[in-house]
Chains A and B, each alone.
Chain A
Amino acid sequence: MEIPPLLIQFGGSIIAILAIYLLARAMGLGTTPKLTDEAAVQHAANEVKDGFSPVRIAIARGGAAALARDVDGQIMVIKRHGNQFVGRVLTRSAKVCEVVDAIEIDPRETQFGTVRLSIVDPGYWADAINRL
């Protein structure tokens, strides 16, 4: 049986793509940024929603995620995605649950995923999110 040349080309392209991906990893491209202080969270929050200015912030241990609340009571969850940060302003459909030493927040947004935050005052945030 003869393999159609287009299929060979397609297969070759997939192999080349994987090789570039593995090379990028081997070269150590892409750092692991951390939310180290409130200014960093403020910056990230303003990138998620222009003009969002937090009045209360909780940074997860390790700096991979954070919660921010503005004066209107809007709550934003921020998570690391690759070497960038992404976030969502939570709506009423967001789900929150307290686990051993952290809270898990599911903004109920397709493909965004659940964010786990190990923070000092999980109760405050869980309450606030449940009251949205």
Chain B
Amino acid sequence: MPDFSPTQYAVPFFVIAVLIEMVWSRLRAPDAYEPMDTLVSLCLGLGSTAAGALFGGFALYVFIAAYEYRLFDFGAEWWSVWWAWPLCFVLDDLKYYWVHRAGHRIRWMWAAHVNHHSSQHYNLSTALRQTWTGSFTFGILFALPLILLGFHPAMIAIAGGFNLIYQFWIHTEAIDRMPRWFEAVMNTPSHHRVHHATNPRYLDRNYAGVFIIWDKMFGTFEAERTDEPIRYGIIKQLGSFNLIWSVFHEWIGMVGDIVQSPWRHKLSYLLREPGWSHDGSRETSDTIRARWIARRSSTNPVADRNPIAADHEAA
């Protein structure tokens, strides 16, 4: 069985790429980096690997147990079946799309994923803001279909590692657009900038990992527009560089809501979308987008039908 963790080998390249982007930032975009923000992002990355080593064992145990019930068998030398690798990679990316979508639409999952989004910057160091608490969600369930299909947990882990490595380079403002054919199929800096945006137009869009086609298939794709500059982060920006707060704030908020709410609403605070409240006093990405659409069509009824008119809306 191959014992190989691709992300580990990638770390030196991550560091070099961040340094190169810092030089770019110095020359071209001094606001792209903020030292404290970068410090927090890098610590989140390191802490995530430590948390994975500490708590990842449970997921591994579940996967190995589930593998016993596989429907198809690639044999004892499963790693030598060459076509299983690209197939596993594509299916794992499909799995990633749904885990990630759940990560934005179910508060329990969002509590773990939010720290990837809580920076107001978007640079290569942002890519390293990985979760510490993913093991405390039900995210592992999404991998079970792959395991039951007969893909070995190690093969899925390696595919997932390459998926994560791919996603590193798209966290940058230094690249505007890739060639047309590439933008059509692959996740790119442009598509993923949209994912990190808090503009109403861009909320909860572009969940893709490697292939953007999933968003186009499942109706969550939004193209980046040159007339709508992106603001990065989360709806309620933290306003703090406290590392521990950035890891746990949503967990703390969620548990507080569950404790304080009436019994029949408790489960909703766990499983409904972030921002949902039983008295409607808070905002979700859906209510924010709805209000934005209503405002736009009342101030400029033509804007919705005519994208050229929308270009001048701000004037």
Contacts and interface: CB of A to CB of B under 8 A. Distances in A.
Interface stretch (B14-22, B68-76, B144-152): B14-22
Chain A: number of interface residues, binned into ranges: 20 to 34
A113 B18 CA distance: 31
Interface in B5-40: 15, 18-19, 22-23, 25-26, 30-39
A47 B229 CA distance: 11
Given A47-B231, A51-B295, A111 B240 contact: yes
A50 B245 contact: no
A13 B246 CA distance: 20
B239 interface: yes
B81 interface: no
B46 to A, nearest CB: 5
Nearest to B46: A13
Chain B interface, DSSP helix/strand/loop, else mixed? helix
A20 B42 contact: yes
A12 to B, nearest CB: 10
Interface stretch (A21-29, A56-64, A67-75, A121-129): A21-29
Contact of B19 (A20, A81, A84): A20
Given A17-B42, A28-B26, A28-B30, A82 B37 contact: yes
Contacts of B238: 86, 111-112
A112 B22 CA distance: 28
Contacts of A109: 239
Nearest to A29: B33
14 contacts: A10-B50, A16-B15, A17-B43, A20-B22, A20-B38, A20-B42, A23-B19, A29-B22, A29-B26, A29-B35, A31-B31, A50-B199, A81-B240, A82-B36
Interface of B: 15, 18-19, 22-23, 25-26, 30-39, 42-43, 46, 50, 53, 120-121, 198-200, 231, 237-242, 245, 249, 252, 288, 291-292, 295
Interface of A: 6, 10, 13-14, 16-18, 20-21, 23-25, 27-31, 33, 47-48, 50-51, 79, 81-84, 86, 88, 109-113
Q: Which 4 A-B pairs have the closest CB atoms?
A: A111-B240, A86-B239, A30-B34, A29-B33
